[in-house]
Structures are given as C-alpha cells and as structure tokens.
Amino acid sequence: MSEQLTADVTIDARGAGCPGPLMDLIGKVKTADSGTVLKLQTSDRGSVTDVPEWVEKAGHELVETVEHDDYWSIYVQKA
Amino acid sequence: MTRIVIVGGGTGGTVLANRLVENLDHEVEAGEVEVTLVNDSPDHVYKPTFLYVPFGKKTTDDAVRPLADLVDRRVDLEINRVVDIDTDAKAVELQDGRDTLSYDHLVLATGAKLVPDEIPGLVEGGHHFYGAEGAEQLRDALADFDGGHLVLTVVGVPHMCPAAPVEFTLMADEWFRQRGIRDEVEITYTYPIMRLHGLESVSNWMEPRFEARDIHTETFFNAEAVDPEAGVISSMEGEELDYDLLVAIPPHAGDDLIADSGLGEDGWVAVDRHTLEADHAEDVYAMGDAADVPTSKAGSVAHYEADVVADRIASEVRGQLPTATFDGKTVCFIEAGMDEATFVEFDYEHSPDPRDESRPVHWAKLAYNESYWLTARGLL
C-alpha cells in the first residue's frame, strides 16, 4: 500500500534531531494549500509520536506512517 | 597570494579574522596571505546585551563597539555590503560597484535577520528585544505596563539564542514582583512544539519553575496572525490568546545572498556539520547563525566554529590536510530571574543537563558579557 502513496511536497529532514523535522513540517504546512499531501522523511524516532500529536491538534490528517530501514515517511494532508 | 574573504563582522566573522591573522602570522607578514573582513556596518553588535535593555539594566550603546577597534590591524576591514556571490568565479561583488573581491577561501558569517512581516500584524502589535530599536521600545512599553496579560510567544525556530525567551519570561516575572505588580500581571509563554523548549532537558528544567511562578504555558502554538486592534494573537492550531503586551521572538531568516547563490534552499548555508564546508561550492565555509548545523544559533557556537574554520583554512594555506572539526559544542547561560542563573553545555552527541540556578552563575554571565570584547578580539 505504501508504494501507492503520493505526496505533493516532500520534506527530507533525515539527519536532523528534534524539533527540526516537526518544525520543517509546520513551516511547509503553513504555506501549503488546503488538501496538499506532505511527506516528511525523518530519522528522528521522536517524530513518530510528536508529528501525529501536532497533526491532531492542528486539525490536519495523518495519512500514514511508513517505516523504512533507517527512517520514517510520515504523510500528512493539510485540512 | 592567497586571499581569504570573510563576509560578516559579527561574533563568528570577527573572531575568525583575528584568529586567522594570528595563525598565519608569518604568511600575512610576508604578503603571502590577505585576510579581508567585509561588514555592512562599521559597528560590531553584541546582541546578548539586548536582553537586559527592556529591564533598564543595560543600554543599547553597551552592545556596540566600532569593528575597527576589535579587529587586528593585519586584517583588511572593508565596510561594504556583499550583493552577489559567484562561487564558480570565486568572487564576491560589493554594493558600491567597485571591483569584485576575488577569493581563494570564502567564509560566510552573515548571521540571521528578523522577518516579523511573515506574521500579519506582528510588526504593529508585537514587541521584541532582538535588536536595538525593538529593545528600547519594549523598555518603554514595560515601564508603562502596570497590569494585564503579557504574552511571550516564540513564533518559530530556529531563532537566535534559544535561551533568551526563557530568560526574558523568568526575568519579567521577577521584575514585576520587584515592582510590586506581579499580582496584576498574567504571564503566558507559548512555544511551537509539544514542550516548552527544543532541548528536552531545558524544557524539563523550565516546567517546575514556570509552574511555581504562576507562568501559564501553551505548547503547539505556532503564531499565524496578530490583530493589534483587538489585542489577539492566533495560532495555526486554532488557538487565540488575548494580550495587553505581546513580546515575540520574531521569525528569522538567513541572508538573501545564501539562497540567491544556491548555497542553501532555506536561507541557511548547507554545510557538513563537522567540517563546516559548504555542500554546494568548493572552498566555501559557513559558520555562526548562517550555517545550517543541528545546534543553537548562539554566540558560543560561532566562537567555537571560528576556531575550527581558522585551523582548517590555515592548514589548507600551508598545504596541509585540515583535521580540525566542530563537535557541536554549545554553551549558554540561562538567567532564571534577575539575580540567579544556570548554564547548559552540550554538543552533537551529548544533551545538556541544567543545574539549579544560583547567584554565582548569574554573576559569571554578567562578567562574561563584559569580557566578551576580549572574545571578539580573539583573545578569550
């Protein structure tokens, strides 16, 4: 299923520690149009919990989190 | 002749220029090496001073000294603005239309700038203490403030001196107590992520202290707009806060030169975090706030990075393989009120462990601020 996911915007935050990936995502969501799907690539384990928490609070949709060998892809759709 | 051009005369650029002419003393004296420091102002500004201005503890003049007084006479000081960087031709263009400056080694220490315009209404409705003018206006606003809701909002990260919003909030709390009006003041601190600070241990240090001092907190608060007339700040997350006095850590950005020259998409120079060499050009380093490294945008970082870059360039000039690397070392004092402070020390591999605040550390911070001018000269 994960191979079918497509994103309008990809944010490569691999290598950055908390809160870098989350702030990178927030910055991109801020300027994206409603409905945009953003893919956050992160190697920071904390992002896997922090990002969904923010997405829920901000009212966006967590589409899916895909685990790779050494990073995660977190798909978020802007409300 | 080897030409070394440093763009930016803040902490990093100034320390680097002084260290380079010291490290390459013989080569400079022999006319084999030329070190040029380009800055768009004749003044050097020590920004940490501004934290104390709103509380009447320092003046903005305390933050400024002529760059010429701080830079070794062997450095060629060029007061001008670089308007273009050509990393293929290895030259920078100056604003006044003079010939371009060619370089063999280029160091970008162009710092960070404030971009409050990114948040509608923030310029009109908010104060800050990240520049001379803003700090003076906030001093006047605080002097007039006799009660109401003070909101300190960290609009975005990265920003300069991640300790400063913590310090300002705790200092304001105590300042109001000393003035006998704390009961009339409500204080709220907002932060963009799920805790009170980017560094988890600092957030853990803050939590009990903010609670004990009745400082309210809002996390996951990413300011979206300010309504100056209504006195309301709203967030991307749908929250609204009424305020009587709004103090913001404004959004920051790197110099336009960086994105324009293809050295970093987001305005910060993409570098190797250890060597500080630019990813997208040869013989270009970046340091200080301008460099995109995973640690704080702080003077101590610029200072330690300057040592590394000076060593690396000196090695390259001598035809040696450079071996000095930056380990992310960062040291920050954190004021916990008007007369106590703590400090944090950390690097890429080690998290900080802030201790309980104390008076000696507060005095150490003030003493360091006075001796900073020796750091800028490359002596401390």
ipTM, two decimals, is: 0.87
A2 has pLDDT over 50? no
Q: What is the domain count for chain A?
A: 1
pLDDT of residue B380: 80
Averaged over B202-228, what is the pLDDT? 97
Nearest residue on chain A to B193, alpha-carbon basis = A19
B2-111+255-329: which CATH architecture? 3-Layer(bba) Sandwich (3.50)
pLDDT exceeds cutoff 70 at B165: yes
For residue A58, the chain B residues in CB contact (below 8 A) are: 220, 222, 236-238
Q: Which residues of A touch B156 (CB under 8 A)?
A: 23, 27
Triad A45, A50, A53: Cα angle to 5°: 145
- Contact residues, chain A, for B224 at CB < 8 Å: 30
CB–CB contact B192 A18 (8 Å)? no
What CA–CA distance (Å, rounded) separates B207 from B354? 13
Average pLDDT over residues B104-110: 98
Q: Which of B70, B59, B68, B164 is nearest to B114 (CA)?
A: B164
Cβ-defined contact of A19 to B192 (cutoff 8 Å): yes
Q: Which residues of A are tagged catalytic?
A: 18
Q: Domain with A39 in it: what CATH number?
A: 3.30.110.40
Q: How far does the CA of residue B238 sit from the closest CA of chain A (Å)?
A: 7
The number of C-beta contacts closer than 8 angstroms across A and B is: 42
Whole-number percent of chain A with pLDDT over 70: 95
Is residue B217 scored above 90 in pLDDT?
yes
Indicate the pLDDT class of residue A18, thresholds 50, 70 and 90: confident
Question: pLDDT value at position B281?
Answer: 97
- Taking only the tens place, the pLDDT of each residue in B342-357 is 999 999 989 899 999 9
What mean pLDDT is predicted for residues B173-196?
97
The reported pLDDT for the residue numbered B12 is 97
Sheet holding B284-286: strands in order across? B76-79, B33-39, B2-7, B105-108, B284-286
What token pair was written down for B104? 């063999």
Instruction: Note whether B220 contacts A19, CB cutoff 8 Å.
Output: no
Checking DSSP bridges between strand B232-235 and strand B91-94, what pairing results, if any? unpaired
Q: Where are the domains of chain B?
A: 2-111+255-329, 116-251
Range B280-301 average pLDDT = 96
Q: In a 3-state reduction of DSSP, which class is residue B377?
A: coil
CATH class entry, domain B116-251: alpha beta
Position A4 confidence tier, pLDDT thresholds 50, 70, 90: low
Enumerate residues 6+ apart whose C-beta is below 8 A from B277.
B271, B284, B285
Q: Which residue numbers of B have CB closer than 8 Å to A's CBs?
A: 156-158, 192-194, 198, 200, 220, 222, 224, 236-238, 294
Give the residue from chain B lying closest to A52, CA to CA: B194
- Provide the domain limits for residue A66: 2-77
Nearest CA in chain B to A25: B193
The whole-number pLDDT of residue B265 equals 81
pLDDT value of residue B196: 96
Q: Tell whether the model's pLDDT for residue A1 goes beyond 90.
A: no
Of all residues in chain B, the one with the smallest CA distance to A16 is B294
Nearest Cβ partner of B220 from A15, A30, A57?
Answer: A57
Q: Which residues of B touch A16 (CB under 8 A)?
A: 294
Contact B171, B335 (CB under 8 A): yes
Choose among B193, B237, B238: nearest Cβ to A19: B193
